[in-house]
Each structure stands twice: as C-alpha cells, then as structure tokens.
Structure 1
Amino acid sequence: MRAKIKVVFYSILPSPYQIDLFSALSQCSEIDLTVYYFEPACADSPWPEKPLQSYEHILPGFHLAWGLSRFHFNWHLPSTTQADVVVLNGYMNLTTQILLRLQAKKVPCVFWGEKMVASSQGIKGTIQKYLAQILNHCSAIAAIGKIAQQDYQQRFPNKLIFNIPYYCDLTNFSKNCPPRPRNPITILFCGQMIARKGVDILLEAFNNLIQSGCDARLLLVGREAELPQLLKTLPEKTCQKIEYAGFQSPENLPQFFHQADLFVLPSRYDGWGVVVNQAIGAGLPVICSDGVGAGHDLIKPGENGDIFPNGNLEKLTAILINYLRHSDKIKLASLESIQKATELSPAIGAKKWVDVFEKLTKIG
C-alpha cells in the first residue's frame, strides 16, 4: 500500500472557503493533512469562530496591524521535518518568513496566494518588497487564479507556478434556485460598502438605469461602511429602489442570492472574490470589473455574465441595460452559471492540490 503524502498547511485564520478545501483534502486517501492557523479569528472578519477539526490547530501568537496589513508572530512552531510538503500563505507574516527560512531547505515549500498588490510607497513599500523576496525560497507557488499566475510567473520566472483558484461548498447556494428573471429584475451586490469594492460605481450605474426608465431593484448586502454618504448623492426616486439588508452571516447569504436575478461585483481590486463563486453557485449571471481575479477564471463573457473595464461607468451601465431590456439573456446566463457551478466543488479543488503534491514529491 502506498504511503500517504504528509502535508502541512499554514494559514492565517479559518476562513470558510479554506475550511471547505481542507475538509475535502482530509477525505483524500492520498493525503495525511495537518493545518495550523496563525489566529482563530479577526475582529474585522465576517466569519464567526467554529469548532476545529482534528487536523486543525491554532498557533499561539499575536499580530500587529499597519493600515490594512497584519503582521503575525507565532511561537511553539511545530517541527515539519517529517512532512513531505509544506504550504504557506501570507508572505508579509513574520511567522511565514521564519518558517520558510527554517524549512525550505529541508522540505518542499509551496506559497499559496492571490495576486500580489502593488507595493505601497515609502517605508511600507520597502518592507513589502523585502518580505516578498522570501518567495525565492519556495519550491513552487500556487497562484489563486489566472491573473495571479501571470503575476507570479513574471516576478519568479524560474519557479513552478500552478493555478489553483478558491473552491468552496456551494450546496446551500445551489439548492432551490428560483427561475429567472423576475419582475422587477433584482441586482445584487454583496460585500463591504467601500470604494475599493466599487460600490460608488454600481450606485451611479443603477441611478442611470432608473433615470433611463428601466424597472429594477438593487439589493445591497454587507457592512455599511461608506454607504450612507454614497446614498446622499442619489435622487430620492433611485433610493426608493434600493434595499440595504445589512451584514449577514455566511449561513444567511443564500436566501439573498436567491432573491436576485443579476450579481454585480465592480471592485477596483479584488485578488479573487469568493462571492463570484457563490453567485455562480446560486445560478446568477455575474457582471464584474476586470479588477476582480475570479472573473478571469469563472466568467465567460456573453455566456454566464460579463466583464467590464475597471472603473468604466458607461460600460457597466450599458451591460446592465442590455440585460434588463433583453431579459432572455438573464435566463440563458443563469443556466450557464448553474452548469459552471458543477466545476467549483471543494473535491475538484482538492484533486488539483493532490496533483501538485504528487508532482513535488516525485521531484523531491
């Protein structure tokens, strides 16, 4: 009988999409899995703490925040010399830096990450560039999506680069998907109401729809953040067509996706955007900017949605008007998303990881 591949993951915290993947990996007969998290939860995280599985552990430690960046430092780090492969994410974490320097020469190490954000200016930018150099110690990089893969290939041309998008359990989103479209057509956005997510662009585009005579409704789900200020700029007629449902726990999200006929994610930047997976799982046509990593992997323009140039209000408005005035496109795109969702299960993602592990252990 072939020995199992001993795999150790180090991750920042137990996010739902990673939990789903780890659960699928734990069921793979080829893998002996152990997962360590740098912290149990984050104060700004939308995910509640859940009981850990037998293969999951929280490392003691703390973090320091600098703007949107979080630097973790953990101790009592377990020995991974008996592992066959080690996977880490968060290159700006001090724990990741230490682990790679200690383990990369002993065990094949894989960095797992989204596209690297553009370096900040000044001291923070200098620190980012310095810390990114640690990835030269890795045996391979698992990029989250095509855009990330292209980015890492350019930065590290001599490394093995794999494309492994996020995979999450879409069962609750796929259950009892309603027939679409309905009247009035409902457009859904799910995320923080902030400029990086492009909510301002969506609100302007929606206002254009209403002013042009389209009958539509906009449903907003997520943290309020900058929303009150943004709504003040809109006419009362438009505001009457907007419903803000507030922040919702992950368990409650499917019911809001089922209320919608179109999903829009106009982010100025999103390394991936798991809500795109969820929207596809719920059978929604997805419209997103080309700044959303998931769009390049999961959306076929003209089939299950559309992609518009980042920040281009006119193009987003035109796409929305086209769907609203030709509602048969919504029905066809919805069916395409339902079909696409069958390719996004955690079991499929786990198989991709197993292929990577087998390749690296053969090389080793």
Structure 2
Amino acid sequence: MPLRPHRPLPLATPAGVEVLTRILTQGPIPRVEIARRTGLSQAAVTKAVAPLIETGFVTDQAAVPAEVDNQLGIGRPVSPLTVVPSSVSVIGVKVTPTGLIGVTTDFTAGILSVRHEQLADTAPKRVIEQVAELAKSLISSLKAGEAMAGPLIGIGVSVSGDVDAEHGVVRDSPLMGWRGVPVAELLRERVRVPIVVTNDVRALTVAEHWFGVGVNADSFAVVTIGSGIGCGLYINGEVVSGAYGVSGELGHLPLAPGDLVCTCGRRGCVETVASSDAILARTRETTGRADLDLAGAIKLAHEGDEHAREAFDRAGEVIGAALAAMVNLVGPELVVIAGEGVAEYDLYEERMRLAFAEHAFGAAGDCTLMLRSHTFDDWARGAAATVIRSYVRGEPPLHR
C-alpha cells in the first residue's frame, strides 16, 4: 500500500499543542488529569481533543473505574486518552564517522525497523548521498508494509558537534571533520521530505524528555561518554539549545592538562583524557602496546594492569569534576550517563563519584547519577523524536 500523504495536525491553539503533548508523553491519561496538570478547564481539554480523535491521532481507551468519589460513594468511570501510534511514521538517522544508523518509528518514537550501513569516508558529499539512499530505503520499507506505518512526517538527522538546527547546518563537527555543511539543504535536493538536523546528544535528550526517564523530571542532564563526550540539558521545561545553538559541551570544558590537544584543536579539554579514544591512547603509551584496541585496554584494566587502571582512573577523575561543574552551574535533579562508553563504566565509576562528591557544591551533591545504556539505534530514535517534537509544535520545517 502506498504511503499516505502527510496530514497536518488539527492544532489551532497553544492549548491544543499542550494537550496533545501531555497525551503523547504521559498517556494513557484521563481528561480530568490533563486539566489538572495543564491548568486548563475540562471544557478546553475536551475542545482540543475532539478534532484529534476525529482525525485519528488520538483515541479513547476502554473506560476504567475512577477512585471512589468521597461524597457520592461511587467510582465514576474514566476513558484515558492515548495517541494512535500508527497515525504517523518518522525516520531518524544517526551519523557517525564510521557508519549510519537509520530507524523508522511511530508517533510514540517506538522503533519499527532498523538499518545499519558502513561509511567508506566522511567527505560531506559522499555521506549526504549515502544518508539519502538510506532514507529512500527506509521509505520503501514503509511503503512495502514492513511495519504498520502512517504518513511520513519527516526525517531527523543527528550529528555530533556544533549544529545550527534552525538552518540545518553542521557548523563544526570535529569527529566528522565537517565545517559549515548545509545538511538539510543537500538532503532536500535528494529526498523531498521535511528534514530536521540536530546535535546528536541534544536529540537523545529530547527522546528522554518526551519518551524516557525525563517525562516526569523537573530537570535533568544526559551525559554521553564515548569517542566524544557530550551533554544535553533539560531545564525549566525545555531542552536547552543556547543562544548560538551550542550548550552542554561538557567534553570541551578546560579541566584536563593543558599540554593535551583535543580533536577540536584546543588544549586541556575533558575529551583529551576521558574519551574512549583518549583512554586507549594513554593505555597504549604507558604499556608500550601500540597494538591494543579499546576492548584490549578494558581487559587489561579488569585484570588489574596498573597502567591501564591509571588511564581509567584519570578519566574518572576528570569526568567527575566536569559533572560537578555542570551540576553546580545548572542544578539538575538527575544526570543520566549514557553512550557507547558505558561498557567500561565500572572501571572509572568509583573515581568519578569521588571527584563529583569532592567538587559538587552543597545540595548539588544530592543530584542522582544514573547509568543508562544506549545503543546507536537509540541515538537514531532520538533524531526521530526531534521530528515528532517539531511536528507537534509546528516548528520549521514542519509548519502546520
């Protein structure tokens, strides 16, 4: 069956956007609870919900008994509202220096299908062409009915580094070696679908905010540890982008020795000590084992090799200090530590927590540090989540 054309959401007011957001992120949820959490009247909630139900984006679940009414002594049945997952479909693509990860998702960011592809090099034109071909392949899978798919509303692309999400431009990605690459424009020439381009860690934070651990949190941060170190922030009801599109660059705080040069060209960045590449380089240097890969360095450290342990201890010390600096400045209630680098988390956790406790100021030390494993599929899902958020809010390029 051919993919249905994009249908606009019937959201005419900010109240409608707020109501749908609550249903999407916190549903199934009764109308009365939406009214309580938003401050809207039940009549306003009903008015906002009616066109969403009529057009198939939202549905009533079977009525269930409510809590017993203290005055009447009876339980009034309620019909929780929930989003219809198959009402739309989305594509998310995570770009790494070595490969592409693409997913299709439904309206709730539930993954429907996955594709992984290797990259021969990181030349922007070659990568964009391969992203376009991957997107076309995922679109074909939706058309072929590989999954229960609704209308395709857009493609999200996430890339590490400084990304101008408003214009879809990767301004500076040291890991990719890109500067000033107009990703959205180049992709739109090849795939006639709305394109949302964003920083990869910020995309992961959006996914956690709307569909993960951050749904009911007042504030939280996502810190990713791997080839690079990133940080996404959710504060005061919003994922922070910063005035210039740059925020949460934890990996580039100058907390490491000044003689170490970062991939960004600056000295003393956290990444020069705490990234997986830095840990491997340090272990190779101190053991004299140029043949080691990261798995080998982790194995040596687990076996008690003092040189390998030193590399991980040093990383933990700097990560802990960086986390404390971020928590002291921003004050989140929760920090989620995620990314491909969490496989060796046990090797630096103790030193990291000690350094965090040493540098966290006052009650900031009460911030919860939580480990949450993520695969690259989750990162691609994050890119899809940014499309869903833009779609609901009517943000460009998904104006209603």
> Which bracket does the TM-score occupy, shorter chain normalised?
0.3 to 0.5
Provide the TM-score with structure 2 as the length reference: 0.31
Provide the TM-score with structure 1 as the length reference: 0.33
Q: Which protein has the larger Cα radius of gyration, Structure 1 or Structure 2?
A: 2
